[in-house]
Amino acid sequence: MTKNIIVYKDFRDKGYIINPGIKFGCDFAVYQKGPGIDHAPYLLQVYNSTDTMSATSVVLAGRLATTVRKQFILAIPKGNKIDCLALDWWRA
């Protein structure tokens, strides 16, 4: 299975509704109830544990998520486990 399918299945198994996140520049938009019922509170980007992430790409994703009032989550599949890192942004 690809990393995206592994993460998709994990979030679906937890009861979330998953849609493509292309319009937000990420892999998935994650809903608690579903499109048309609620807004997606999370934007999800899937990485391999060996992928490199630049600080700029993380900041860009976080700023976009904040602009559309969503939380940005990095999901990293490791075997049967998914490590998730949720980023919150605030004004100093």
- Pick the catalytic residue: 8, 16, 31, 42? 31
31 is catalytic: yes
Number of helical H runs and strand E runs in the chain? 2, 5
- Pick the catalytic residue: 33, 39, 47, 78? 39
- Pick the catalytic residue: 8, 70, 78, 81? 70
Q: Rounded distance, CA 10 to CA 5, Å? A: 8
Torsion of CA 3, 16, 61, 81, to 10 degrees: -40
* Beta strands across the sheet bearing 81-87: 17-20, 28-31, 42-46, 71-78, 81-87
Enzyme catalytic residues: 31, 39, 70
